[in-house]
Amino acid sequence: MLEARDLVVTADIAEGRAEVLRDISFRLEAGRLMGVVGESGAGKSMIGRLVAGMMPHGFAVTAGSLRFEDEDLVGLPRRRRQAILGKDITFIPQHPQTSLNPVRSIGTLFDEHLKRLGVAGAAARRDRAIAHLEDVHLPDPSGLLRRYPHQLSGGMCQRVLIAMAFAGEPRLIIADEPTTALDVVTQAHIMGVLGEMRARHATAILFITHDLRLAAQICDEIMVMYAGEIVERGPARAVFAEPRHPYTASLELANPTLTGAPRKLLSLPEHMPGLSAYAGLSGCRFAPRCPVADPDCAGHRAALAEVEPGRWVRAAGRCLGADLVGAAATVHAAGGRADAEGDARPLLRVAGLGKTYGGRRGLLGGRRGAVEAVREVGFELRAGEFVGIVGESGSGKTTVARMLMGLETPSAGRIEIEGADVTGPFARNAALRVGAIQMIFQDPQSALNPRRRIGRLVTQPLESGRRPMPWPERLERARALLREAGLPVDVLRRYPSQLSGGQRQRVNIARALSSAPKVLVADEIVSGLDVSVQAQILNLLLRLREESDIALLFISHDLAVVRYLCSRVLVMYRGDVVEAGATEAVFANPRHAYTKTLLAAVPPDDVNVDWNPAGISEV
Amino acid sequence: MGGEILGVVLRRILVAVPLILLVSVLVFVVLRLIPADPVSMAVPPNATRDEIEAVRREMGLHLPIIEQYAIWLGQVVQGDFGRSIAFGQPVLKLIGQSLPATIELAGLAAILATAIGLAGGLVMFRLRGGPGEGPADLASILIMSVPEFLWALFLILLFGVAFNLLPFAGRLGPGESAPAITGFLLLDCILSGRFATLANALEHMILPALALALGTAPLIMRVLRSSLLEVIHEDYIVMARLRGVPERRVITRHAFKNAFLPTLTLMGVQFGFLFGGTLLVEVIYSYPGLGNMMVEAVRNTDLPIIQGAALIYALAVMSINLAVDLAYILLNPKLRAAG
Amino acid sequence: MSARPIGGPAPAHWPRPLRSARVLVGGGIVLSVLLGAIFAPLLAPYDPNAQDLLNTLVPPVWMEGGNPDFILGTDNLGQDTLSRLIYGARVAMIVAVLAAFGAMLLGTALALVAGYFGGAVDWLISRAVDLWMSFPPVVLSLILIVGFGVGLSNVILAIVLVDWTRFCRVVRSEVLIVRRHDYIDAARLAGFGHLRTLLREVLPAVLPLVITLLSLEMAIALIVEAILSFVGMSVESTIPAWGVMIADARTYMYQTVWGLVLPILAIVVTVIGFNLLGDGLRRTLDPKLLQRETVAA
């Protein structure tokens, strides 16, 4: 059906020519679901772009072929490709809401698509559209046709796109991270819908994702990519249960688990090489980071070999099937001091916190149209404690963080830091706050002023106040902070745009530490990061706790990450705390329906456990 | 949906009322600052002190400024804009005679500007990435750098003097006339079936309208082009291509409408400027419109006309803005639901 | 752990604008006119108001009937066109520079305040901008001149009072975008007060836009002055100005068309200079545009 043979894609970059994709060979049979797993920059999306004929400027296929049935997609004439796209080969995109034209109704879009597929007659098209929308379990399909994308949720938009993708009975669907931008529960639901549709239409699907566990659960076969190469390929469950390539193994070990014995995450140093580094890597591209590498590896490149029927691995000799579990075996008690060791006073105490937005004063004194973003939230935080808040978007968790930092004023409730009441806007208690509680923002791109050098950014909190620290002292402090955060000192003189995502996040953390606060508030700080980089950051936080007993309020939608870091957890849903308690207890025995749904929506760690996402209804 | 639109219209009109009031206050106050004395315009040179005083009282200039404003406002609401000092006629009548001409001119210019602007924008967009992009861009900057009144003069020099193709004074040639049914010359010609006169009137209007259009169109072109450039990178455009939609349709059916919205916003602002541009263009072409009258009034310090005309200009710009806002709401579904 | 930073360009720095052809050409034109204005007494062959009634309406030296004493000819009062053009540049540049700076200062200050604080302050300032923009700028400046009286400082004041709205509206949108970035909140959390955050974090982010607008505003101010002097409502009649030259020459258009063409060219070339400069600055100082042009689709 779809067969790649020795595919090579080269790009012209400043440093010369780089082989963006190298030695890519695989076979996707009709009706099978193959997962392409890799971190960002591994080249997994490039295959999709190749099929679509949308290669970036300067990128070209220089060897090999990619055959769809009998035709080679490389060098296909534009007309022919246009005839195939949307009909025989369709796509499901990563960002559903922006992938639909905002000024056209769903009905108009569907009508245009069906017309292209050759359905004659407006009435017939309308009926077909309604039928397709019903297939993906969208409520009120005829009403939906009149609606616009901004009126639909992300999950609903994605279902519309899935319906359109399957409408023409395609033979191949390329799904490029279709659930990455969605909430965990929505993701499970979408996976259910996708599974149903696939069973019904027997379409081959190429499923691109960074989530190894998800791919292992739903795919027939998976292909793991690293730095433009396939490092391992084989039946999904087998690859996951017994990875043979060191990278696949480290990827698994870098992923926090929701069940099973807690173990320290394996964090590889640095990050996957970018295009500009490819030229300098003549041998194994994973060697610089590989835990079992030896000096030979840098000069030697293994070929993708079939070590067992159906199992292909790009490894030879020692590294084949190397046991990395030993390296990560240090059992670590998650969350550290879960029991308050006689520390009488909590650093942070929150009671009855609430926030209501908008609304107009009604005639009779009530408020109409008001939105209660947060209701009755309360908890305590002591030195060295890591507490997590989990919830999906709209649960109010970010609002809680902003209120704690004084960026929003609570409508109700009380916030105390070391016994002092700091409820209210930041400015009111600025001096006290700066030294006591700091925030690590989610998006390092937006959180670092692009015009400032790192050296000045990292010590920003020390510049303000009545007695700002003089520059030479700040420079020293900056060096110390960067060391603490695990960054090389020469980063001082650089600008944020010259750092990677993981490095920027470390700078963020370093800045938050600069005023030596006792409490950190971290709002989704690892969401956008690759798994291996995420592991680095999480281990950094654990190390900071060991060294300085810092307390952390960790907000996330990722349950496994929260389990790894936090001893206690609060589960939020639509502004309320629906469940709270010790992390292990809550996750092992959830009481509230929402917590149960959340836990069920996460793909299980054990591949032998059957996961049925279709049973989960969208919340 | 009709009910929503009506609601929006009413709400905008409601918001406009205090705005108009404030505008009138602004005009009134500024004009009271003038160093020249309006009274001296209205009396013969050898008037006595008593006679001057009498005229002053008659004009109400002895009252505190707030009272003067209140009186004036009261009169305006009843349709009495005062009497021109220079012409001696009611201001409203004078405005009524000259406004239709300006509206016609501005309307024709707006149509020309839109046509040239949108077509030019699409062409500039088509040329992107190719050798024609740079020259087209420079050309648009050059055209944009010539203000309307200079285009007016330039067009006279070219088509009027050098090539003697088109007339450039007045509204109609000598000997031509049309019955004043609506006051709108073009409409009157059509209604009374005088097509030769219609042609003559259009001949007279083409140069000033073109001058005005050339002052506005380049900016429309550039904004449309940059909007299209931005939109073309959006996810939904990529998705449309992935569904096999041919490129031409991608641009006309998907990209254009989205790119048109910010262009529309700009067009609203520009048309307001265009209406103001009629001021000078009318002077240059001796075209008997509101602008011509206003400039005369300024030279004569004819206060009532200045006030009246200024108010009309403000009303015109506000109406244009309202119309554009409504069009925007109609085209942008995101705003419709929210009202 | 020796992480190597990923390659990426440092943010816009000063050398880059100088490499743009538009900036150089536009800047060159503007600079020439500016120098001409400053050194007018040295450059102009005659006193611009010196009348020579024996030599009226002389065409430029390259036309038939031209006189090498008057290179660009004379007007209907025998005043030398070249000298009047050079001295006219003074009025043009003084108005362009001062009025543009004034509009920039007023407009940007209000835009920063409105965009950063939001709420009632934003509402008030936006309503004021709406009010002002209800008038076509030409009409409003005319009314203001009628109110203030003629004179150079009044012209500058009138233009500032009319055009600050242009700055305010555009800069405010940009401030709103910048405001949404987390680093603004981060600065506040680092202990900086509102004023310092505004000046240290927000202002530098909008500065490229402001500089671009400044150049374009100078073009607009120049044109408005030309319009005002065309209708005789700008500077006193003893001071030469390009708009006045155009108005005078219009009456004698059939006798010598050059008297009309030359001041028109002067205005057009100077405005082109400002517009090119502004466009060039916009391209070099806008990082988004730069990114798009290097990473092709």
More confident call, C78 vs B224: B224
With CB atoms and an 8 Å threshold, state whether A448 touches C183: yes
| Predicted pLDDT at B23 | 80
Which two three-digit tokens encode residue A442?
């989610």
Helix pair angle (C203-230, B148-155), 10° resolution: 40
| Chain B residue numbers touching A85 (CB-CB < 8 A) | 241-244
Q: What is the pLDDT of residue A165?
A: 93
Quick: pLDDT tens for A226-244: 988 999 999 998 998 888 8
Q: For position C1, what pLDDT does the model report?
A: 33
Between these two residues, A415 and A363, which has the higher pLDDT value?
A: A415
B239·A91 Cβ contact <8 A? yes
List, as one string, the DSSP characters of chain C: --PPPPP-PPPP-THHHHT-HHHHHHHHHHHHHHHHHHTHHHH-SS-TT---TTSTTPPPTTSTT-BTTBTT-B-TT--BHHHHHHHHHHHHHHHHHHHHHHHHHHHHHHHHHHHHH-HHHHHHHHHHHHHHTTS-HHHHHHHHHHHH-SSHHHHHHHHHHHHHHHHHHHHHHHHHHHHTSHHHHHHHHTT--HHHHIIIIIHHHHHHHHHHHHHHHHHHHHHHHHHHHHTT-SS-TTS--HHHHHHHHHHTTTT-THHHHHHHHHHHHHHHHHHHHHHHHHHHH-HHHHHHHHS--
Angle CA C121–C125–C130, to nearest 5: 145
Question: Nearest-CA residue of chain C relative to B297?
Answer: C146
Which residues face A2 on adjacent strands? A28, A68
Q: What is the pLDDT of residue C18?
A: 67
Q: Can you tell me the mean pLDDT for B109-129?
A: 92
Sort strands A172-176 and A2-13 into parallel, antiparallel or unpaired: unpaired
Q: Is the pLDDT of residue C253 over 60?
A: yes
CA atoms lying within 13 Å on the CB side of residue B312: 26
Please give the pLDDT value at position B39.
Answer: 63
Residue A161: predicted pLDDT: 94
Question: For residue B25, how many other CB atoms are within 10 A of its CB?
Answer: 13
Q: How confident is the model at residue C131 (pLDDT cuts 50, 70, 90)?
A: confident
Q: Give yes or no for residue C290 having a pLDDT over 50.
A: no
Reply yes or no on whether the pLDDT at C274 is more than 50. Answer: yes
Q: Which element (helix H / strand E) includes A619?
A: none
Q: How far apart are CA A91 and CA A288, in angstroms?
A: 35
Reported confidence tier of residue A469, pLDDT bands at 50, 70, 90: confident
Quick check: C147 pLDDT over 90? no
For residue A28, report the phi and psi dihedrals to the nearest 5 degrees: -115, 115
- Span B168-193, mean pLDDT? 76
Kindly state the average pLDDT of the residues B69-86.
Answer: 75
Which residues of chain B have a CB within 8 Å of the CB of C136?
272-273, 275-277, 279, 313, 317
Distance CA B306, CA B303 (A): 5
How far is the C-alpha of A306 from the C-alpha of A312, rounded, in Å?
4
- Identify from A40, A267, A449 which residue to disrupt to test chain C contact, counting C C-beta atoms within 10 A and taking the largest count: A449
pTM of the full structure: 0.85
User: Which of chain B's residues have a Cβ under 8 Å away from the Cβ of C146?
Assistant: 30-31, 34, 298, 301, 306
Per-residue burial over A29-40, b if 16 or more Cβ lie within 10 Å, else e, is eeebbbbbbbbb
Interface of B with A (CB under 8 A): 234-236, 238-246, 253-254, 257-258, 261, 331-334, 337
A13 SS3 class: strand
pLDDT at A107 exceeding the cut of 70: yes
pLDDT in tens, A547-595: 888 899 999 988 999 999 999 999 999 888 999 999 999 999 999 999 9
Nearest to A572, CA basis, from A556, A553, A588, A589: A556
Residue A333 has pLDDT above 80, yes or no: no
Spell out a b/e string for C19-58, using b for 16 or more CB atoms within 10 Å of the CB, else e: ebebbeebbebbeebbebbeebeeebebebeeeeeebbbb
CB contact under 8 A, B243 and A98: no
Q: Is the pLDDT of residue A538 over 60?
A: yes
Check if the beta carbon of residue A499 is closer than 8 Å to that of residue C5.
Answer: yes
Q: Report whether pLDDT(C3) > 60.
A: no
Query: Has residue C98 got a pLDDT over 90?
Result: yes
For the residues B312-325, what does the mean pLDDT come to? 88
pLDDT at C16: 64
Q: Which residue has the higher pLDDT, C108 or B337?
A: C108
Least confident segment among A53-62, A323-332, C61-70? A323-332
Poorest-pLDDT segment among A549-558, B18-27, C255-264: B18-27
Sequence-ordered list of residues with C-beta below 8 angstroms from that of A203, at least 6 positions apart, any chain: A31, A166, A169, A170, A171, A172, A173, A197
Q: Do residues A512 and A433 make contact, with C-beta atoms less than 8 angstroms apart?
A: no
Tokens describing residue C198: 């505004």
Of B238, B244, B257, the CB nearest to A103: B257
> What per-residue confidence (pLDDT) applies to A126?
92
The pLDDT score that the predictor gives to residue B43 is: 63
Per-residue pLDDT band for A369 (boundaries 50, 70, 90) equals low
Match 């210019």 to its residue by tokens. B109
Q: Which residue has the higher pLDDT, A331 or C49?
A: C49
Cα A564 to its chain centre, rounded Å, is 16
DSSP state at residue A56: P
pLDDT band at residue A618, thresholds of 50, 70 and 90? Answer: low
Residue A186, beta-bridge partner list: none
With a cut of 50, say whether residue B207 has pLDDT above it.
Answer: yes
* B 214-273 residues with CB < 8 A to C: 229, 232-233, 269, 272-273
Strands (E), A203-342: 204-209, 221-226, 229-235, 305-308, 311-313
Model confidence at B336, in pLDDT bands (50, 70, 90)? low
Strand ranges of the sheet holding A412-417, from the earlier edge strand across to the other edge? A371-381, A348-357, A412-417, A420-421
Looking at the predicted structure, is the pLDDT value of residue A97 above 60? yes
Residue A502: pLDDT over 70? yes
Mean pLDDT of chain C: 84
Q: Is A54 on the interface with B (CB under 8 A)?
A: yes
pLDDT, greater one: A310 or C214: C214
pLDDT at residue A160, rounded to an integer = 94
Taking residues C228-233, report their average pLDDT. 88
Confidence of residue B41 (pLDDT cuts 50, 70, 90): low
Inform me whether the pLDDT recorded for C5 exceeds 70: no
Average pLDDT over residues B128-143: 88
- What does the pLDDT read at residue B339? 34
pLDDT at position B45 over 70: no
pLDDT tens string A186-214? 888 888 888 888 888 889 999 999 988 89
The fraction of chain A above a pLDDT of 90, given in percent, is 24
- pLDDT (0 to 100) of residue C31: 93
Segment C156-175, tens digit of pLDDT: 999 999 999 988 999 999 99
Q: Which pLDDT value is given to residue C297?
A: 24
Q: Check CB contact of C41 with chain A, cutoff 8 Å.
A: no
> What domains can be seen in chain C, in order of their start residue?
19-47+82-286 (1.10.3720.10)
B159-168 pLDDT, tens per residue?
Answer: 877 777 777 7
- Euclidean distance between the first and final Cα of chain A, in Å? 37
Q: Which chains touch A (3 or more CB pairs under 8 A)?
A: B, C
Report which of A191, A57, A300 is spatially closest to residue A616, judged by C-alpha positions. A191
Interface check C89 vs B, CB under 8 A: no
Q: Which residue of A has its CA nearest to C189?
A: A434
User: What are the structural domains of chain B?
Assistant: 98-296 (1.10.3720.10)
C-alpha–C-alpha distance, residues C238 and C226, integer Å: 16
Residue A415 has pLDDT above 60, yes or no: yes
Minimum distance, in Å, between the CA of residue C295 and any CA atom of chain A: 7
Amino acid sitting at position B290: L
Rounded distance, CA A429 to CA A406, Å? 9
- In this prediction, residue A235 carries a pLDDT of 93
Q: Exposed, middle or buried: residue A369 (CB in 10 Å: 0-12, 13-18, 19+)?
A: exposed
Question: Would you give the distance in Å from CA B128 to the centre of its chain?
Answer: 32
Inform me whether the pLDDT recorded for A493 exceeds 50: yes
Listed range (A237-241, A351-355, C1-5, C64-68) with the worst mean pLDDT: C1-5
- pLDDT (0 to 100) of residue A183: 85
C157 touches chain B (CB under 8 A): no
pLDDT top residue among A525 and B39: A525
Distance from CA of A422 to the nearest CA of C (A): 14
For residue range A314-326, list pLDDT tens digits in order: 877 777 777 776 5
Q: What is the pLDDT of residue A343?
A: 58
Report whether pLDDT(A396) > 50.
yes
Closest C-alpha to A494, from A548, A526, A453? A453
Q: pLDDT tens across C41-66, in order?
A: 888 888 888 888 887 888 888 888 77
